[in-house]
């Protein structure tokens, strides 16, 4: 009887441990700007990528308990901005170290653009930053953390990296690679985030060929993206998006429209969308058709990933022109929880 009890106890302990054997214990050590002391940080939140419901994870006693490997984003509560995601490939304890730059971008207040800080404080007046060898890294003129008229940043070889010119109504940005080739141009209207009315961007390949042309006017995003040989890769208009293989054959086609609000209308600028997505193989055969809905969106396009949508009306898969699988009327939020 004792042996049976002992084996049952071992089985129970092993089963409980396995409930957590796929999890990750995450700890973040941070060195703040203009300091050398590294400290265990607790002032942040983690989000599993891609963002969806129930993906926020908080620090408890210096550790964040994550469900498993994957890509995660960190949001610091004090405004420090980390422009990267973290890829965790294994379970167990994962320690991440980050050095806050002496000069960098930080989140602004609600509905405000990001601000620049030096040694953790808003920059005012003329400011310069240098590499450890004494070469110029950045110079600019600021007012309460915002660029007043211009800011330039440089590579360690002295080549111009980033040029920002601030005018009364617009801001213009140019980005260069380390060999002085211009790779990106952006212009946008100044003002609070919610008041933005337009932005325009062009990106270039190293040989100078156009890679991307994008505009966002009144929250309607239009895109033309190209392969290095000049073939069209993506074309997106107000109500459609088409993606192509590199041989010019259509790969994915989206079209969307606003749904009629039959019950309580949304606030101004917020809409529900119905989206049709059709996928093709390189033989021009349809492989999948999906009809789905995205609710409470404020611009065009809505979320185009069916897995991030609110409701799947139908999803049909095909092989050699014949239907092989079908899914209908699925609440994606409940589906993802399973």
**Per-residue pLDDT tens over the stretch 239-294:** 999 999 999 999 999 999 998 876 677 777 788 999 999 999 999 999 999 999 99
pLDDT band for 57, please (50, 70, 90 cuts). Answer: very high
> Please, are residues 288 and 295 in contact by the beta-carbon 8 Å criterion?
no
DSSP codes of every residue in 37-78: -EEEE-SEEEEESSP-TT-EEE-BTTBEEESSSEEEEEEETT
170/285 Cα distance (integer angstroms)? 46
Beta-carbon contacts of 228 under 8 Å, excluding residues fewer than 6 positions away, are: 205, 207, 209, 211
Q: Answer with the residue of higher pLDDT: 338 or 126.
A: 126
Stretch 215-242: mean pLDDT: 96
* Residue, of 13 and 72, whose pLDDT is higher: 72
Nearest residue to 43 via CA among 80, 96, 93: 80
Whether residue 12 has pLDDT greater than 60: no
pLDDT digits (tens, 9 = 90+) for 74-128: 999 988 988 889 999 999 999 999 999 888 889 876 667 789 999 989 999 999 9
| Mean pLDDT in residue range 25-36 | 95
Q: What is the pLDDT of residue 238?
A: 95
Rounded to an integer, what distance in angstroms lies between the CA atom of residue 276 and that of residue 296? 17
Residue 14 has pLDDT above 80, yes or no: no
**Residues in Cβ contact with 118 at an 8 Å cutoff, skipping those fewer than 6 apart:** 33, 102, 103, 127, 129
Share of the chain above pLDDT 90, in %: 71
Question: Rounded to the nearest 5 degrees, what angle is found at the Cα of 319, between the Cα atoms of 316 and 321?
Answer: 90
Which of the residue ranges 169-178, 211-220, 266-275, 322-331 would you say has the lowest mean pLDDT? 266-275
Q: What percent of the chain has pLDDT over 70?
A: 88
pLDDT value of residue 11: 47
**What was the pLDDT predicted at 298?**
83
pLDDT of 60 over the 60 cut: yes
Average pLDDT (138-156) is 94
Q: What is the pLDDT of residue 337?
A: 59
Q: What is the mean pLDDT of the chain?
A: 88
pLDDT band for position 17 (50/70/90)? very low
- Residue 333: is its pLDDT beyond 60? yes
The secondary element (H helix, E strand) that includes residue 334 is: helix 332-337
In the predicted model, is pLDDT for residue 324 greater than 90?
yes
Q: Cα 225 to chain center, whole Å?
A: 18
Q: Radius of gyration (Cα) for the chain, nearest Å?
A: 25
Q: Grade residue 42 by pLDDT with cuts at 50, 70 and 90.
A: very high
Contact 103, 92 (CB under 8 A): no
Kindly tell me if the per-residue pLDDT of 16 is higher than 50: no
């Amino acid at each position: 009887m004792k042996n049976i009890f002992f084996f049952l106890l071992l089985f129970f302990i092993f089963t409980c441990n396995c409930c957590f054997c796929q999890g990750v214990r995450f700890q973040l050590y941070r060195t703040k700007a203009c300091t050398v002391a590294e400290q265990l940080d607790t002032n942040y939140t983690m989000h599993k990528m891609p963002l969806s419901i129930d993906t926020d994870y908080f620090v408890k006693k210096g550790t964040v308990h994550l469900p498993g490997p994957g890509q995660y984003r960190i949001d610091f509560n004090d405004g420090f901005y980390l422009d990267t995601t973290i890829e965790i490939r294994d379970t167990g304890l994962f320690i991440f170290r980050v050095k806050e730059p002496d000069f960098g971008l930080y989140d602004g207040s609600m509905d405000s653009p990001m601000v620049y800080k030096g040694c953790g404080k808003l920059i005012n007046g003329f400011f310069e930053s240098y590499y450890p060898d004494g070469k110029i890294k950045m110079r600019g003129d600021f007012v309460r953390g915002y660029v007043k008229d211009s800011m330039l940043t440089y590579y360690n070889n002295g080549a111009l990296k980033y040029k920002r010119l601030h005018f009364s109504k617009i801001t213009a940005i140019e980005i260069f690679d380390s060999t002085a080739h211009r790779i990106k141009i952006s212009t946008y209207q100044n003002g609070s985030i919610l008041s933005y009315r337009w932005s325009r961007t062009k990106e270039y390949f190293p040989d100078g060929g156009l890679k991307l042309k994008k505009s966002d006017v009144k929250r309607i995003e239009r895109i033309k993206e190209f392969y290095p040989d000049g073939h069209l890769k993506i074309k997106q208009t107000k109500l459609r998006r088409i993606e192509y293989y590199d041989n010019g054959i259509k790969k994915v086609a989206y079209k969307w429209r606003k749904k009629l609000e039959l019950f309580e209308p949304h606030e101004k600028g917020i809409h529900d969308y119905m989206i049709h997505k059709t996928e093709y193989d390189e033989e021009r055969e349809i492989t999948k058709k999906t009809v789905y809905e995205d609710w409470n969106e404020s611009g065009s396009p809505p979320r185009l990933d069916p897995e991030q949508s609110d409701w799947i009306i139908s999803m049909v898969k095909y092989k050699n022109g014949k239907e092989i699988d079908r899914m209908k009327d699925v609440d994606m939020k409940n589906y993802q929880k399973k």
